[in-house]
C-alpha cells in the first residue's frame, strides 16, 4: 500500500512539473521558435570569404558595370566600322501607278513610260576612299575597344581595393569589439578585486574609485566598438548585396596574408599587365588613326552602285513593251551600274579644322602616354614601399600585442599580491587595448596595401 501511495505521489509530482513547464514555455517561447509554424528558424548567416565578396561586388557595382557596358559598346562600334568597309546589298520593290491620258499607252507623267511601272532591284553598294584602303576607321575603333577593356580592368582592380578595405574594416571592427569586450571584462574583474581588497583593508578607497573610472571608460569603448562594427557591416553589405542583406559573417584570415614578392618580379608584372599604361597606349593608337581619317577626307571618294532586277510595265520576267508591241515578249531582268566620283572643292575650312583637332588630340595622347609611364614608375615604388613597410610593422605589432597581453597578466597578479600600484595596472590595461587594436589596424593596412599594389601588377 505504501509503495502504491509513493508511486501516485511521484506521478503527481511529475505531472505538476510537466504542466508548469508547458505553461512557462507557452508564456515565454524561445527566440528561435515560431508559434505560428512550429518550425525552427533556419535562416543561418552565410559565411563570405574575400573572393566571395569580390564576386558579389562585381555583380552589383554600377561603376564596374558601366565599364563592362563601355566594352560592349566599343565592340559593337568595331563591328560597325568593319561592316562599313564591306559592300552592302539591299533590295527594293516599287509599283508606280500613273494616271493615263486615254489615247496613248504612256501615262500623264513624262518620267514614267507607262501607266503601270514595276521595279524590283537588288542593289550592291560600295564606297571607295582612302579610309577604305588604309582601314583607318576600323583601326580607330579597334584601339577604342582596347582602351575600353583597359578601363574595365582599371575599374575591376579599383573595386578590389574598395571591397578589400571594406571587408577587412569589418574584420578589424570585430577584433576591436572582441578586444573591447575583453578589456571591459578585465576591468570588471580588477574592480571586483580592488573592492575585495578594500574590504580586507589592504588597499585604499581611491584605488576602487580609479578602477571604477577605468571600467566606465572601457564600457564606453565597448559601446563605441559595437557601433563601429555595425557601421562596417552596413558599408560592406551596401557593396555586396542588392537587397541590403546583413545576415552574413566574414572570415578572419588576416593572420595568413600572402608574402610580398621581390621588387624585380613586381616591376616585371607592372610592365606586362598595367591597365593604365595599356589604356594610354590604346588612346595613342586611336589618336593616330583619327588623324589618318581626318587627312583622308581631303581625297576624292568613289561610290559604286550595281543594280540588278526589273523595271517594266509588267511584273514578270518577260512582257510586251507598250511602245513596241510588234517586238513581242521581251526579257525584263537586267542591270545597270552607277559610278560617282566625289571631289572635295570648298568647305570653308571645316576639313582642315577637323584635321587640326585630330592632331591636337594626338599630341595630348602622346603626353598622356609619357605621363602614364612616369606615373607607373612613381606609383610602383610608392605602393611597394608601403606594402613592405606595412608587412614589417605588422610583425612588430604582433610582438607588441603578445608582450602587452603578458604584461597585463603579470601586473594583475602583482596587484593582487600587493606588489603593483593602481596606475601600473591601469597602464597595463590601456597598453593591452592599444596594442591589440594597433595590431589589427596593421594587418588591415598590409592587406589594403597589397590590393593597391595589385592595381598596377595584377595578381601575384
| C-alpha pair distances (Å), 8 with each of 21, 156, 160, 357 | 20, 76, 72, 106
Q: What's the CATH number of domain 52-86+133-297+350-457, 1.20.120.550, 1.20.1600.10, 3.30.413.10, 1.10.510.10?
A: 1.20.1600.10
Q: What pLDDT does 383 receive?
A: 96
| C-alpha pair distances (Å), 337 with each of 6, 305, 306, 333, 350 | 120, 6, 4, 14, 32
The H or E element spanning position 35 is none
- End-to-end distance of the chain based on CA atoms, in angstroms? 86
Condensed to tens digits (0 to 9), the pLDDT of residues 258-272 reads: 889 999 999 999 988
Q: What pLDDT does 165 receive?
A: 95
CA atoms within 13 A on the CB side of 378: 6
CB atoms within 10 A of CB 441: 18
Q: What pLDDT does 245 receive?
A: 86
Q: Is the pLDDT of residue 32 over 90?
A: no
The residue assigned the cell 511584273 is 315
Where does the pLDDT of residue 117 fall: very low under 50, low under 70, confident under 90, or very high at 90 and above? Answer: confident
Domain boundary assignment for the chain: 52-86+133-297+350-457, 88-128+300-343
Rounding to the nearest 10 degrees, give the CA dihedral for residues 444, 448, 453, 457: 110
Closest CA to 445 of 389, 400, 369: 389
Instruction: Note the pTM of the prediction, 2 decimals.
Output: 0.77
Q: Using an 8 Å Cβ cutoff, are 458 and 273 in contact?
A: yes
Condensed to tens digits (0 to 9), the pLDDT of residues 297-329 reads: 999 999 999 999 998 888 888 988 776 778 888
Q: What is the DSSP string of 171-196?
A: HHHHHHHHHHHHHHHHHHHHHHHHHH
Nearby residues of 13 by Cβ (< 8 Å), 6 or more positions away: none
Where does the pLDDT of residue 422 fall: very low under 50, low under 70, confident under 90, or very high at 90 and above? Answer: confident
Task: Please state the rounded mean pLDDT for residues 407-426.
Answer: 86
Q: What pLDDT does 63 receive?
A: 92
Where does the pLDDT of residue 14 fall: very low under 50, low under 70, confident under 90, or very high at 90 and above? Answer: very low
Gap between the Cα atoms of 267 and 275, Å rounded: 14
The larger pLDDT score, comparing residue 106 to residue 69, is at: 69
- 166: cell is 571594406
Q: Is the pLDDT of residue 29 over 60?
A: no
Task: Please state the rounded mean pLDDT for residues 384-413.
Answer: 92
Gap between the Cα atoms of 204 and 171, Å rounded: 41
Gap between the Cα atoms of 174 and 176, Å rounded: 5
Gap between the Cα atoms of 277 and 147, Å rounded: 10
Gap between the Cα atoms of 388 and 383, Å rounded: 9
CB atoms within 10 A of CB 381: 13
Condensed to tens digits (0 to 9), the pLDDT of residues 163-199 reads: 999 999 999 999 999 999 998 998 898 888 888 888 8
Instruction: Count the helix, strand and coil residues of the chain and give each as a percent rounded to the nearest 5.
Output: 65, 15, 20
The residue assigned the cell 597589397 is 450
Q: Left if phi > 0, otherwise alpha if psi is -120 to 50, otherwise beta: which for 344? A: beta
Amino acid at each position: 500500500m505504501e509503495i502504491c501511495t509513493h508511486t501516485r505521489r511521484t506521478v503527481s509530482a511529475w505531472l505538476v512539473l510537466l504542466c508548469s513547464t508547458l505553461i512557462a514555455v507557452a508564456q515565454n517561447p524561445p527566440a528561435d521558435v515560431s508559434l505560428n509554424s512550429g518550425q525552427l528558424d533556419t535562416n543561418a548567416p552565410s559565411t563570405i570569404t574575400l573572393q566571395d565578396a569580390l564576386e558579389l561586388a562585381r555583380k552589383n557595382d554600377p561603376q564596374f558595370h558601366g565599364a563592362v557596358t563601355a566594352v560592349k559598346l566599343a565592340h559593337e562600334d568595331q563591328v560597325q566600322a568593319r561592316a562599313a568597309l564591306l559592300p552592302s546589298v539591299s533590295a527594293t520593290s516599287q509599283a508606280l501607278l500613273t494616271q493615263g491620258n486615254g489615247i496613248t499607252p504612256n501615262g500623264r507623267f513624262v518620267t514614267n513610260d507607262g501607266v503601270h511601272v514595276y521595279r524590283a532591284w537588288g542593289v550592291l553598294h560600295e564606297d571607295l576612299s582612302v579610309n577604305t584602303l588604309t582601314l583607318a576607321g576600323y583601326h580607330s575603333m579597334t584601339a577604342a575597344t582596347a582602351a575600353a577593356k583597359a578601363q574595365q580592368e582599371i575599374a575591376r582592380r579599383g573595386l578590389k581595393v574598395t571591397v578589400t578595405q571594406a571587408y577587412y574594416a569589418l574584420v578589424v571592427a570585430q577584433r576591436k569589439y572582441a578586444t573591447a569586450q575583453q578589456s571591459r571584462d578585465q576591468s570588471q574583474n580588477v574592480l571586483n578585486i580592488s573592492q575585495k581588497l578594500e574590504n580586507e583593508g589592504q588597499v585604499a578607497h581611491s584605488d576602487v574609485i580609479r578602477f571604477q573610472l577605468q571600467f566606465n571608460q572601457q564600457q564606453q569603448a565597448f559601446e563605441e566598438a559595437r557601433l563601429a562594427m555595425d557601421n562596417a557591416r552596413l558599408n560592406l553589405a551596401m557593396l555586396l548585396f542588392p537587397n541590403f542583406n546583413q545576415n552574413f559573417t566574414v572570415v578572419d584570415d588576416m593572420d595568413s596574408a600572402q608574402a610580398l614578392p621581390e621588387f624585380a618580379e613586381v616591376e616585371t608584372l607592372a610592365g606586362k599587365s598595367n591597365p593604365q599604361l595599356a589604356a594610354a597606349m590604346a588612346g595613342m593608337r586611336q589618336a593616330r588613326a583619327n588623324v589618318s581619317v581626318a587627312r583622308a577626307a581631303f581625297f576624292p571618294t568613289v561610290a559604286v552602285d550595281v543594280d540588278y532586277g526589273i523595271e517594266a510595265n509588267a511584273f514578270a520576267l518577260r512582257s510586251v513593251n507598250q511602245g513596241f508591241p510588234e517586238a513581242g515578249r521581251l526579257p525584263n531582268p537586267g542591270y545597270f551600274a552607277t559610278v560617282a566620283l566625289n571631289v572635295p572643292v570648298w568647305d570653308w575650312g571645316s576639313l582642315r579644322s577637323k584635321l587640326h583637332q585630330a592632331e591636337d588630340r594626338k599630341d595630348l595622347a602622346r603626353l598622356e602616354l609619357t605621363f602614364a609611364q612616369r606615373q607607373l614608375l612613381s606609383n610602383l615604388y610608392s605602393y611597394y614601399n608601403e606594402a613592405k613597410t606595412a608587412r614589417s610593422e605588422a610583425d612588430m605589432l604582433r610582438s607588441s600585442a603578445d608582450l602587452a597581453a603578458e604584461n597585463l597578466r603579470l601586473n594583475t597578479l602583482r596587484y593582487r599580491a600587493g606588489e603593483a600600484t593602481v596606475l601600473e595596472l591601469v597602464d597595463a590595461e590601456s597598453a593591452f587595448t592599444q596594442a591589440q587594436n594597433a595590431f589589427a589596424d596593421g594587418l588591415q593596412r598590409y592587406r589594403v596595401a597589397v590590393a593597391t599594389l595589385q592595381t598596377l601588377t595584377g595578381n601575384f
